Amino acid sequence: MGTFERIVILTGAGLSAESGLGTFRDEDGLWTKYDLADVATPEGFARNPALVQDFYNQRRRGAAAASPNAGHAALARLEKEYPGDVLTVTQNIDPLHEAAGTERLIHMHGELLQALCALCGDRHRWTEDITAELACPACAEIGGLRPDVVWFGEMPYHMERIYAALAACDLFVSIGTSGTVYPAAGFVAEARQAGAHTVELNLEPSDGVSMFHEVIHGPATEVVPAYVERLLSG
Ligand code: NAD
């Protein structure tokens, strides 16, 4: 398989599915139980903050109790052992990449285990429930804390760094993502324009499957370690 100098990996909910964390759009996914407009938009939060906090408090407890799987572990190994540059960009808000040891990581949709104060903008690591009675550790105001996650209609984080990495990469690998949520769904096109080889690893063909040079379908705990092994053995 040729050698690549700069690899960008994009991950989505499918990578964490086998760690027991629900995906959003699969048949029994979270969006079949909750309305996206209620729990993942600023308008939903303004309408019913308690419902939204409760939704993320449940997700936070689930994420704190989950362990990384063989897919996360393989990506951490790739970062450590690959002679070229590896950047992992995740849409996941769970902490499983870092728990597996990945260090060059961008959480483009924020992090469940972090609270953002909407009043002063400060961020704090947060492993407990967030409630309306809590005071921000920085400004001491009550009621401004929210999960530091990017809702629909909000700007994903670190986009400049991500687009710069995509423009310079020669391999782009998309893992466990349905290819429906932009801007992440557009990354494959950016990478192709930069001349990169593009690979999809997913349980089933994603919405953007035709954009990839190579597609490997199967569960992440199988296809990701196998693909990483291929990259590491040159
Ligand atoms: P998605 O739910 O839209 O798509 C998940 C994809 O993963 C599907 O294409 C599905 O076929 C595939 N998949 C399911 N099980 C798999 C497995 N075992 N192995 C490999 N692939 C598998 O998820 P997405 O594309 O990441 O959606 C984007 C949004 O969902 C993001 O905003 C993200 O923040 C959010 N999200 C995050 C988490 C998390 O942090 N763990 C969980 C759910 C949703």
Residues with Cβ within 6 A of ligand 1? 12-14, 16-18, 21, 23-26, 29, 91-94, 109, 176-178, 180-181, 202-204, 206, 219-220
pLDDT for res 26: 67
Nearest atom in ligand 1 to the alpha carbon of residue 40 is: 32
* 29 pLDDT above the threshold of 90: no
- Which pLDDT score is estimated for 33? 75
Run of H or E including 114? strand 110-117
Domain covering 22-65+114-149, topology: SIR2/SIRT2 'Small Domain' (3.30.1600)
Asked whether 214 and 227 are in contact (CB, 8 A), the reply is no
Topology alike, domains 1-20+68-109+155-234 and 22-65+114-149: no
Model pLDDT, residue 87: 98
How many angstroms from the chain centroid is the CA of residue 31?
17
Pocket test of ligand 1: the residue of 16, 18, 23 to mutate, having most ligand atoms within 8 Å of its CB, is: 23
Domain ranges of the chain: 1-20+68-109+155-234, 22-65+114-149
Domain 1-20+68-109+155-234 is of which CATH architecture? 3-Layer(aba) Sandwich (3.40)
Question: pLDDT of 174-232, one tens digit each?
Answer: 999 999 999 999 999 999 999 999 999 999 999 999 999 999 999 999 999 999 999 99
pTM: predicted TM-score of the whole model, two decimal places: 0.95
Tell me how crowded residue 47 is: count the other CB atoms within 10 A of its CB. 12
Nearest CA to ligand 1 atom 13: 14
The residues with which 171 forms a beta bridge, in sequence order, are 7, 197
Ligand 1, closest atom to CA 11?
A: 26
Give the single-character DSSP code of 140: -
